[in-house]
Structure 1
Amino acid sequence: VWVNGGDRIPTGHEETYRALARGLREGDDGAHPITYHPCGWRSSAQFFHTEDWLDLNMIETWTEWAKVYPAVMADTLLTPHKPVILGEGAYENGPEYPQGPITPLIVRRQAWWAFMAGGFMTYGQDRMWRMGPGWADTFDTPGAVQMGVFRRIATSRPWWRMVPDQGVFASGVSSERTLNAALRTTDSTCIMVYLASQCHVLLHLDKILAREVRATWVDPRTGEEQDAGRYTTGNNVPGRVFPRGEKAWFSTPGHWEDAVLILDAVPDSR
């Protein structure tokens, strides 16, 4: 991916960045996608969204990590549709952020919020980007390791068929730093929910188009799974003309800081 811009606001220099994009297109014959890296609390969509050379939108939230979900969602909903990447969030262990040091929990929240809003993200580590002594050791910091866990969980279901759906929540969606979010497959056979803290949520089980759902907890820190039970949805019940949408309460397990809950349709054996 070619990253135009270099962490800059393009205002007043738009033609320079357009010329750079044309040069990149001519140089590699369009073999690699191009995006633009703005600075601060901004997205490339604010400046170049409708231009043909911009293949995907890049967002920088910097210290505003609690706004990742609405920022990514705003670009996901734009037309023409383009992929969205959180290109620069808050870096793990970074001491320079006004809102305080960035913990592994905050790193996970950024990743899951970006994913749940229909985008993806890049991981950053303070010592890594500064290239100071011991920077190579940062490949094994908790936040870095947990990005591997994030990938395994996120790709354990058909992510390419998932769309954001906050309508899954009947209660407990929360907001900002503790925002909970959900994805649903377009055929409504799977729902993935991210709970950003210790909390209780009431979910619409009838969002799954099956008679029963199987619920599974997954720890975003380790990938450990726990059975969360089977539930009826109220859908496809013989003799019932109007489905009665079932709901169920779920609570973040034990001492987990955050959690992923996956609801899978149980195949009808009739």
Structure 2
Amino acid sequence: MVTLPLLWAVMSSLKTDNEILTSPWGLPNSLHFENWSRAWSKSNIGDYFLNTVVVVGCSLFGTMLLGSMAAYVLARFEFPGKRIVYFTFVGGMSFPIILALVPLFYVMKNMALLNTFHGLILVYIAYSLPFTVFFLTSFFKTLPTSVAEAAMLDGASQTRTFFQVMLPMAKPGLISVGIFNFLGQWNQYMLPTVLNTGDNKVLTQGLVELAASQQYRGDWSALFAGLVLAMLPVLGVYIIFQRQVQAGLTAGALK
């Protein structure tokens, strides 16, 4: 059910417009890779793609760094207000982002962050932190404390113990939650539509503009090519890290 629509989109991206309209389920007579180059250059998909890579790459790094640090502290240390902090993060997952769009718009406007990459990156990080902290807190609790204690006895500081000992041990969980965050941030449409209305648009905005423009041009092959270009990074990341995703989701289940 999932694979067939993807294969159909790839197959359609290699057809001519006439073949798409007259034989939508048939195989292409020849492979037209120029559809991809046309979608990349003439439809500005290339620029939108690079903008998305910059925004998602920076926001994913910030999310994983801040989320893992917060989750480690919540999982390993006792301090006043710990449960309040933890449930504040958990409560963030149940707060629909659509309810915050209007006040968020004015906050970003007052801070001169509208239509900027760094403003969108900060919003992506804040949007992804609740799930990241919730997921990694449970994962850090499953890791053995004896390793961290041995590192402390050897003279390692808390910072060194976290980055050189505990963080590598949490690699399966980091990859799992990282892929979930990558999918959510790569496919995010609502936030950039409201907060990034300038020229530096991301891929989801570019695909919507491409779909709207192709309705009048009839260049359906370029539209399918643009959709495939947007899907390839997501599929590639999952194919490469699928074992780590499964390991991260099942780790600690038998403890």
Instruction: For CA contacts below 8 A with separation 6 or more, give which structure has more relative contact order.
Output: 2
Shared fold, TM over 0.5: no
TM-score interval, smaller chain: under 0.3
**Please, what TM-score do these two structures have when normalized by structure 1?**
0.23
Which of the pair is proportionally richer in strand? 1
Larger radius of gyration: 2
Which of the pair is proportionally richer in helix? 2
